[in-house]
Each structure stands twice: as C-alpha cells, then as structure tokens.
Amino acid sequence: MRIGIRDTDGRLVGPVYKGGAVEGLTFSRERRFFPRARVRPDLPLAPTTPVYRIPNSGAPGW
C-alpha cells in the first residue's frame, strides 16, 4: 500500500499516485493488514478456502 510522506506540519509533500509520484520522495510502501469485513450481515460468511503452496520442482527433497 502506498503511504504519503508528510512534512513536519503533517501536509503531504507531493502526490501519492499518478503524475509526480516518486517512491521514496513523495510516498513509501508498507504492508497493511485489513481484517475481514461483512458487507451483507444477513448472509453467512463464505467458507474458508484452503490455499496450497506449489513446491518448487527444482528444490532438493522433492
């Protein structure tokens, strides 16, 4: 996620997206976690779907 860099007064120093956005100068990147949210509380939550990692075929031990 792009996070805008701010000056000492709390104002953005430049654009975060589009034209003049420069990584490290006007924005930085951070990982953010957003918990699940219910859009329709009248419906049950979707079942969890298992996600599997495909092993690298060149890795030792496979």
**Using CB atoms within 10 A of its CB, is residue 9 exposed (0-12), middle (13-18) or buried (19+)?**
exposed
- At 40 the pLDDT is 81
Q: Which two tokens stand for residue 7?
A: 């000056």
At residue 41 the predicted structure's pLDDT band, cuts being 50, 70 and 90, is confident
> Lowest-pLDDT range, 5-14, 16-25, 30-39?
30-39
Quote the CA–CA distance of 40 and 56 in Å, as a whole number: 39
More confident residue, 38 or 23: 23
Residue 62 CB contacts under 8 Å (≥ 6 apart), including other chains? 55, 56
pTM over 0.75, yes/no: no
Cβ–Cβ < 8 Å for 49, 58: no
